[in-house]
A and B are shown apart, each in its own frame.
Chain A
């Protein structure tokens, strides 16, 4: 019995509801990502987004041709960076397209705002894509639940709040949508969908290095299906179309280039492509020569081919014909690898192995719905479900190895949770059976009563409460209500948890900090921008600023000055040289800095505020990285004092006290903190007298978070700067004698 509401049939109502729900999900997804804009301002966050923002601006200002051939001589001085050939242009092109489209219809929006709000906008698209994926593998209910989950899951929000203008912001949408298209093309055996998969795969390749996940997972899916004996023409059409178009398209991105033909990361896809041709041929032969043994033969030959292919791959890798796996991939197998061999990868906090609480923090209840979803997938186990299971397993493993890969886990967790929850609701929200059951009970009861009355021939006895029809109806509904209420409670808690995490943990731009005074007052700490602005206004346009690589992109983006190293850590030696400058004594550092034409040195110091992410705390990594390249005369142990502690101030080891970093951070700091001053991060006493001759203080921000020093020019008379300072005496004494 269908009720007509506003003259709509039941199916129309459903689609209207669905559209409304998806619309609401999109609004929630976008809205919950705007905390940072409301609390702070529309500003680009963190580090990498600043590079993306800068390149986007370049693209908008200079057009695509110049962007494509852009050589940035202000980065990695003096090596320079071939920007056009070493980035994933997807996000910049996307923003520029949106910007141009808006300007075409006379909406004069600023490119910064396009960049700031790109990730939230794409999160709404991700929700839609996830809905499609859920619908593809289960039904619309699962799709809607999955969409609702991904809309607010902190694991994804962490990379897509407003201002977080990074590749992941659009790449997750592309990842989900590519997988959806892939599953549909496998189900339908449609070359059209295969080609669409390839096109979105190309978009993904242009947007994020994580495309490697797709190009390994899809072949794995195909391979698993082949081994399971599920070869079909649908699979053949889907994979062949996808692989050929996708690979050719991906090679158009200069940064990827010919990699699909010779690197280990892409070999699985190539191998599977070859394999599926053989299997297709074999199955064609089989239709001509039917035999029961043939199936066994095929399976055996697939396994044999796999072994031979894998052996060949290993051999070719060992003989260096195929490029070996890059370090970042090794660290996916062996979490200790990076720590020992590539300190520069280990030094990035998002490359650390994930701690258990992180999973709950980022995914809340979804993490325990994942196994349930896998269970339900096993029950059905269509081709699509095989894919879901593989994706879950691999993403879960990778997420355990690297914190940042929780991001790739999040979509599948949402889909699986959606599937699991849809299964639960399918059973427990279906009241039709319960209703009929209750009616049956009622009918039975009345019959019984009649019988009893007939037998006993007297008035019916007063019924206990347990025997009333209403109670029985309630009793039949009870488990359903409990389960549904429980899950509703979980869903509400999930939403609350997500909002809380988003607002408290993921909405800080990190360029601007906020602090709360003891009286609850709100303070904005804007030292970074203060320092960058000072550099922009007070230094020559071609001044070279040395800082640790973390601040390279921000320096280029906000101060518009030449940097020596930045967050694109492509040249380990150059970074090690910068590390060496900061870790060496003043004279060695001066010589090296002059050799590299450095004009200013910038350090971040948190001792005044208690900002723990400062350079002194990162210093050990700088030493380790420098030590890896310059082993002679550099020892990490020298920077620990006799008690084996990493100390600062007067208790520090002599090497530590002599190091440039220590000097630059604590120079004249005791003057502001008093003779009994403490470093608020390290909780240690300050060094008393820090002398500095080869460098001079140029600027220190309000909260001493950023300190900028000028590298002095060579002495006019060829003296050492120590001698010159000794002659000129304490600067301030001399200047203020009247």
Chain B
């Protein structure tokens, strides 16, 4: 996470002390008409009690703006008007994706009567809603209370194993004789892009769930296999690369007071989980700091040398229950990459001495590769439901200095000896050559010397005369 993001988060925290969200407390709720908001009074009320500042606007209200002077006007948007073709003063899908790009979160509720606006918007996130006037239908799992025979109210219980998003009752294995949780869902199904890891199909159909037209009790005949089972999405959530969150629910009814309070259903809890996750009230992961330095000296040089031993540390904290807590995991990995990863290792959590600490520190003792170049130190931590943490440092690894190599090699001692013997031998030879007279030449030399002497004498004589 970039420092400025942290800063923004910190500011948001300071600015809204009682809000539970890590990213802000202004919620825009768009409903077909202002009066229709009363159908969702429980859901909206729970938002308000959690400290959000909820603004309810009609879809057709032209004064609605997502941006004011280039700044986001809201932190979260809840779209409960599936039939609306546009919002405000001609706000199109592009304005909403820009809102998300800007860091806004969004809950989009759909229904059988879904406008092109919603289809176009959802398609950008890999969510493709079924055609108009189709319903998710299940003849085996439906709401059976009060002699209701509406098979369109599916009692869905196929939850994605995403403990970061759903509370423990939904995800994970159930305790014995615990009733399987079910969410009442009345609305439209969607296909979801399985190839995109950013999209999590939170609630999918059971094997008996299918998407079809409503023909009373009669199941429709369809030559083409209808969308059904696991590939039929009911509620999907999406996290962008910039950690904004978007939830798509095929049913506005599941948020309504009617279904929220139905006994035997777990809508209350499920909807709260989805809203909490989407509005950044939980599973918000952040990196509060990271550093690396030489093991020996503990200082961080401008560049390392090959095969240096270093320590890499990263601090992670997670936001939940209105506060930052240390993030505990055993799968935080560090990579040193130059075109390919040269090192990939798991970091260990350092036991914090401060029990009240907000962050957990992970560290690794790393021996750098014996290869020089520009490396990228990276912690790329992406786990379902948690915010992405992708920390990159570009670090140069230099080769050894010209005098950084071992000076004397034991293997080379014969050569050292050889060269020194050579030098001494040469000097000795020169000395012998210079200071010894050859015996047969001595006479000659003596003669020459005497000649020279006499010459010099003569010269001297001449001069003096």
Chain A residues with a Cβ under 8 A of chain B = 68-69, 71, 73, 77-80, 82, 84-85, 254, 542, 595-597, 714-719, 727-729, 734
Contact, CB under 8 Å: A727 / B303: no
Task: Check if B267 is an interface residue, CB within 8 A of chain A.
Answer: no
Q: Which residues of B contact A729 (CB under 8 A)?
A: 94
CB distance from B400 to the nearest CB of A (A): 9
Q: Which residues of A contact B376 (CB under 8 A)?
A: 78, 597
List 17 additional A-B contacts (Cβ < 8 Å) besides A69-B401, A73-B398, A78-B338: A68-B402, A71-B399, A78-B373, A78-B374, A79-B374, A80-B372, A80-B373, A82-B372, A84-B402, A595-B339, A715-B241, A716-B244, A717-B124, A717-B126, A718-B196, A727-B93, A728-B94
CB distance from A721 to the nearest CB of B (A): 13
Q: Which residues of A contact B394 (CB under 8 A)?
A: 542
Contact, CB under 8 Å: B198 / A717: yes
Task: Check if B396 is an interface residue, CB within 8 A of chain A.
Answer: yes
Contact, CB under 8 Å: A714 / B94: no
Q: Which residues of A contact B196 (CB under 8 A)?
A: 718
Report which of A68, A71, A595, A714 forms a contact with B303, defined as CB distance below 8 A.
A71
Contact, CB under 8 Å: B402 / A69: yes
14 sampled A-B residue pairs with Cβ under 8 A:
A68-B402, A69-B401, A71-B372, A71-B396, A77-B374, A79-B374, A80-B374, A84-B402, A596-B339, A714-B241, A717-B238, A718-B241, A727-B124, A734-B94
CB distance from B2 to the nearest CB of A (A): 13
- A728 vs B97: C-alpha distance when bound (angstroms): 10
Task: Check if B240 is an interface residue, CB within 8 A of chain A.
Answer: yes
Q: Which residues of B contact A82 (CB under 8 A)?
A: 372, 399
Which residues of chain B in 181-229 are interfacial with respect to chain A, using CB atoms and an 8 Å cutoff?
196-199
Q: How many A-B residue pairs have CB under 8 A?
A: 68
Q: Which residues of A contact B402 (CB under 8 A)?
A: 68-69, 84, 254
- A181 vs B374: C-alpha distance when bound (angstroms): 46
Contact, CB under 8 Å: A73 / B396: yes
- A718 vs B196: C-alpha distance when bound (angstroms): 7
Q: Which residues of A contact B399 (CB under 8 A)?
A: 71, 82, 85
Which residues of chain B in 373-392 are interfacial with respect to chain A, using CB atoms and an 8 Å cutoff?
373-376
- A595 vs B97: C-alpha distance when bound (angstroms): 27
Q: Which residues of A contact B199 (CB under 8 A)?
A: 718
CB distance from B192 to the nearest CB of A (A): 12
CB distance from B255 to the nearest CB of A (A): 24
CB distance from A326 to the nearest CB of B (A): 23
Contact with A along B76-109 (1 / 0, CB 8 A): 0000000000000000011001001100000000
Chain A CB within 10 A, most for which of B93, B242, B374, B402 = B374
Contact, CB under 8 Å: A716 / B242: yes
Task: Check if B125 is an interface residue, CB within 8 A of chain A.
Answer: yes
CB distance from B262 to the nearest CB of A (A): 34
Q: Which residues of B contact A79 (CB under 8 A)?
A: 338, 373-374
Q: Which residues of B contact A716 (CB under 8 A)?
A: 100-101, 240-242, 244
Chain B residues with a Cβ under 8 A of chain A = 93-94, 97, 100-101, 120, 124-126, 196-199, 238, 240-242, 244, 303, 338-339, 372-376, 394, 396, 398-399, 401-402
- A426 vs B126: C-alpha distance when bound (angstroms): 93
Q: Which residues of B contact A542 (CB under 8 A)?
A: 394
Report which of A595, A596, A718, A727 forms a contact with B126, defined as CB distance below 8 A.
A718
- By secondary structure, the A interface counts as loop
CB distance from A89 to the nearest CB of B (A): 12
Q: Which residues of A contact B197 (CB under 8 A)?
A: 718
Contact, CB under 8 Å: B374 / A73: yes
Contact, CB under 8 Å: B375 / A78: yes
Instruction: Give 6 closest A-B pairs by Cβ, nearest first.
Output: A73-B396, A71-B398, A78-B374, A716-B240, A80-B373, A73-B374
- A734 vs B90: C-alpha distance when bound (angstroms): 13
Chain B CB within 10 A, most for which of A78, A79, A596 = A78
- A331 vs B219: C-alpha distance when bound (angstroms): 80
- A669 vs B372: C-alpha distance when bound (angstroms): 42
CB distance from A419 to the nearest CB of B (A): 42
Report which of B242, B244, B339 forms a contact with A78, defined as CB distance below 8 A.
B339
Chain B residue at smallest Cβ distance from A714: B241
CB distance from A614 to the nearest CB of B (A): 30
CB distance from A178 to the nearest CB of B (A): 27
Q: Which residues of A contact B198 (CB under 8 A)?
A: 717-718
Chain B residue at smallest Cβ distance from A68: B402
- A597 vs B375: C-alpha distance when bound (angstroms): 11
Q: Which residues of A contact B396 (CB under 8 A)?
A: 71, 73, 80
- A313 vs B444: C-alpha distance when bound (angstroms): 48
CB distance from B64 to the nearest CB of A (A): 18
CB distance from A694 to the nearest CB of B (A): 16
CB distance from A244 to the nearest CB of B (A): 12
CB distance from A86 to the nearest CB of B (A): 11
- A34 vs B422: C-alpha distance when bound (angstroms): 54
CB distance from B377 to the nearest CB of A (A): 12
Q: Which residues of B contact A728 (CB under 8 A)?
A: 94
CB distance from A85 to the nearest CB of B (A): 8
Q: Which residues of A contact B303 (CB under 8 A)?
A: 71, 73
Contact, CB under 8 Å: B124 / A719: yes
- A715 vs B124: C-alpha distance when bound (angstroms): 11
- A679 vs B277: C-alpha distance when bound (angstroms): 56
CB distance from A239 to the nearest CB of B (A): 19
Q: Which residues of B contact A73 (CB under 8 A)?
A: 303, 373-374, 396, 398
Contact, CB under 8 Å: B94 / A727: yes
CB distance from B116 to the nearest CB of A (A): 13
- A401 vs B396: C-alpha distance when bound (angstroms): 41
Chain B CB within 10 A, most for which of A80, A597, A715, A734 = A80
Chain A residue at smallest Cβ distance from B100: A716
- A84 vs B372: C-alpha distance when bound (angstroms): 14
- A520 vs B294: C-alpha distance when bound (angstroms): 65
Q: Which residues of B contact A77 (CB under 8 A)?
A: 374
- A85 vs B372: C-alpha distance when bound (angstroms): 13
Q: Which residues of A contact B120 (CB under 8 A)?
A: 727
CB distance from A429 to the nearest CB of B (A): 46
- A714 vs B240: C-alpha distance when bound (angstroms): 11
Chain A CB within 10 A, most for which of B97, B199, B376 = B97
CB distance from B298 to the nearest CB of A (A): 23
CB distance from A593 to the nearest CB of B (A): 13
Q: Which residues of B contact A714 (CB under 8 A)?
A: 241
- A465 vs B101: C-alpha distance when bound (angstroms): 107
Chain B residue at smallest Cβ distance from A84: B402
Q: Which residues of B contact A717 (CB under 8 A)?
A: 97, 124-126, 198, 238, 240-241
- A717 vs B242: C-alpha distance when bound (angstroms): 9
CB distance from A257 to the nearest CB of B (A): 11
Q: Which residues of B contact A69 (CB under 8 A)?
A: 398, 401-402
- A338 vs B110: C-alpha distance when bound (angstroms): 67
CB distance from B103 to the nearest CB of A (A): 10
CB distance from B341 to the nearest CB of A (A): 12
Chain B residue at smallest Cβ distance from A71: B398
Chain A residue at smallest Cβ distance from B340: A595
CB distance from B378 to the nearest CB of A (A): 11
- A140 vs B426: C-alpha distance when bound (angstroms): 42
CB distance from B304 to the nearest CB of A (A): 11
- A655 vs B428: C-alpha distance when bound (angstroms): 76
- A718 vs B376: C-alpha distance when bound (angstroms): 23
Chain A residue at smallest Cβ distance from B398: A71
CB distance from A545 to the nearest CB of B (A): 14
Chain B residue at smallest Cβ distance from A78: B374
CB distance from B428 to the nearest CB of A (A): 19
- A19 vs B199: C-alpha distance when bound (angstroms): 86
Q: Which residues of A contact B126 (CB under 8 A)?
A: 717-718
Q: Which residues of B contact A85 (CB under 8 A)?
A: 399
- A727 vs B125: C-alpha distance when bound (angstroms): 12
